Amino acid sequence: MVFVKWQAVKKIGGYVVILEVAILDVKSGKEKDFELVFARAQQIIAGMDGYISHQLQRCLEKAGRYILLVNWQTLEDHTQGFRQSAEYQQWKALLHHFYEPFPEVEHYELVY
């Protein structure tokens, strides 16, 4: 899922890589369930047009906190292609009930 050479993708691929960042706060006691469900759910994004790679990482300082990092070929691959798809409805049904509060998602572009 995450075998990506960043600079190589950015330059050789001929498109600008966009990094989606979401800090996810999972309801207390639901962390293991979330990780199990995410293992399935990640196959949904991995199959979308414009998807490059992703990582889910667990916070060491704050229980229940995760960060989701997804690389997309373009901003629209995430905001339009994915979010307006039928697959997004599945993603939402699987994952959204774990979050409290509901996460804010931001997009970033590589500086260095």
Stretch that binds its own copies, among 49-57, 84-92, 95-103 (CB under 8 A): 49-57
- Which of 21, 48 has the CB closer to its own copies? 21
Confirm or reject binding of residue 74 to its own copies (CB under 8 A). Answer: no
Q: Of 37, 75, 88, 103, which lies in the binding site for its own copies, with binding defined by CB under 8 A?
A: 75
Angle at 63 between CA 59 and CA 66, to 5 degrees: 40
Sole binder of its own copies in the list 22, 37, 67, 94 (CB under 8 A): 67
Residue 77's contacts (CB-CB under 8 Å, 6 or more residues apart) are 18, 48, 49, 50, 51
* Cα-Cα-Cα-Cα dihedral sign, residues 69, 90, 78, 105: negative
Cβ-based nearer residue to its own copies, 97 or 108: 108
N-to-C CA span, the chain? 22
Q: Is there binding between residue 6 and its own copies (CB under 8 A)?
A: yes
